[in-house]
Each structure stands twice: as structure tokens, then as C-alpha cells.
Amino acid sequence: MGLLDGKFAVVTGAASARGLGKATAKLFAEHGATVAILDLDQAQAEAAAADLGPNHVGMACNVIDKAQVQQVMDALIEKWGQIDILVNNAGITQPLKFMEIEPENYEAVTDVSLRGTLYCTQAVVPHMRQRKSGSIVNLSSVSAQRGGGIFGGPHYSAAKAGVLGLTKASARELAPDNVRVNAICPGFIATDITQGKLTPEMKEQVLAGIPMGRAGEAIDVAGCALFLASDLSAYCTGTEVDVNGGSLIH
């Protein structure tokens, strides 16, 4: 018995082979869910979905294009009859210092993480409300809580802190309709984004700040997403769950 048997899940930004989205989609599929992988590139999204097995779907979707997001979600609802789970994973990061952030940097980073999360959530909410059922999982970051210090610049911290505010406010508003919204705050995770961009010295410095003494793996985050997507967390909404090896203990 899988935890997500008979459920239909959408994961954004999930085509990257070593990313959090792909690991989450894979674990959901292993637990019985039918998954749609959304990413900018149609062919990459389709290939990633095919990796999960038959019946899964890959679709091109730019999360900051509100009309396209709505179109894609509507097409999935028509195809499946329901969307039970949305994971807002799409995001980009840039290791810039405070004074290096130009308008285009700010827009690029906040658009995908924050505006994308808003648009994708808006596109599924009427359907979930109607069914009085749904779980939305938003990806924030330890950078939002501790003020950067790992990889992303201050604009990334701000965008991911915005995701926390959006998570809590939408959770409060949607709770009467049994639609749950929760956030995950990963710490330093070994993914395509971080791979190769940290010097050995930087990596050593980051690991020194993690009590568990290792970088996280994508599966560590995926496991948490599985819990939040499933009925195991039926009474959890508006929460932020830390997956950081102890690098920030409140």
C-alpha cells in the first residue's frame, strides 16, 4: 500500500535529474501517485515523467505565465478528473551580495519562487475547494529563516521568506475547505543547483555549520514532501518543516 494510492500530483520545476522536484516526483510515484512534471522544456519534462514509469505526464509550463499555468492545470484536471497535490518546487537562485543585486536579478529570483507559487496555487484552488480536499507543499529555504549564509543572495532569502508568508496566509484562508498548505525549508542539499558552484573551502565552511556533518540529499526533502502530501499530515496546515541537519534549530 502506497501512501498516495489513487492520488494525482503536480510537481513544478521537476525535470532536473538531481533536483528536489524530480526526487519528490519519483517518491510520490513509488507511493502510488500519478504525477505531472512541469518544467520550462517540454521534452525534458516528458523525459523526466517517462523515467517515473507509464501514465505519468510531462508538460511545458512557465510558472510566471499566469494564463499558461491555468491552461496546464485545467488540462490536467480534464485528463485526470482531479488534482490532489501540488508541489511548488520551481525556483532559481543566484549567489549575489546585497549591493550586486540588479533589478533583473531581483525580478528573476522573486518571480519564479514567489509569483510562480502564487499563480500555480491560484490555478488549483477553485478545484480543490470544490472537492473539499487538497494538499499544497511550497518549497522555501533555511535562507529565509537565517538570512542567507549558504548559497543564495539576499534577494533569494527575501523570495523564500515571501513563500513562508504566502504559505501561512493561504493556509489560514483555505483551511475551512480542507485544503492544506505547508512549507518545507531545506538547508544545504546536494543538487544540480549547488553542485560545482561551491569551492572546497566554501563547502567545508557550510558543513562546519551543520551539526549532522553532511549535506542533505534530495530524498531527505522528498520524504518530507511525501509526509505533507499524504493523509499522515491531515491536521497540519500553515507549518514550516525544517530539513537542514540541525543547521538552524529554533
CATH code for 8-243? Answer: 3.40.50.720
Residue 121 has pLDDT above 60, yes or no: yes
- The partner residues of 189 in beta bridges, in order of sequence, read 216
Q: Which residue has the cell 543538487?
A: 191
Cβ-based burial of 71 (10 A; exposed 0-12, middle 13-18, buried ≥19):
middle
Give the model's confidence band at 38: pLDDT under 50 very low, under 70 low, under 90 confident, else very high: very high
pLDDT in tens, 4-20: 999 999 999 999 999 99
pLDDT at 198: 73
Of the residues 106, 119, 156, 235, only one is catalytic, namely 156
In the residue annotation, 106 being an active-site residue is answered as: no
By C-alpha distance, which of 200, 113, 105, 115 is closest to 153? 105
Give CA–CA dist 64/98, Å, rounded: 24
Of the chain, the percentage scoring pLDDT greater than 70 comes to 97
Residue 218 has pLDDT above 90, yes or no: yes
Number of H helices, E strands in the chain: 9, 7
pLDDT in tens, 53-63: 999 999 999 99
DSSP line for 30-47: HTT-EEEEEES-HHHHHH
pLDDT at 199: 77
What is the bridge-based pairing of β-strands 179-186 and 134-139? parallel
pTM of the model: 0.97
By C-alpha distance, which of 10, 22, 63 is closest to 229? 10
Report yes or no: 225 and 184 within 8 Å, Cβ to Cβ.
yes
Residue 78 has pLDDT above 70, yes or no: yes
Residue 192 has pLDDT above 60, yes or no: no
Residue 223 has pLDDT above 60, yes or no: yes
pLDDT at 59: 98
pLDDT in tens, 138-175: 999 999 999 986 778 999 999 999 999 999 999 999 99
Residue spans of the domains in the chain: they are 8-243
Residue 194 has pLDDT above 80, yes or no: no
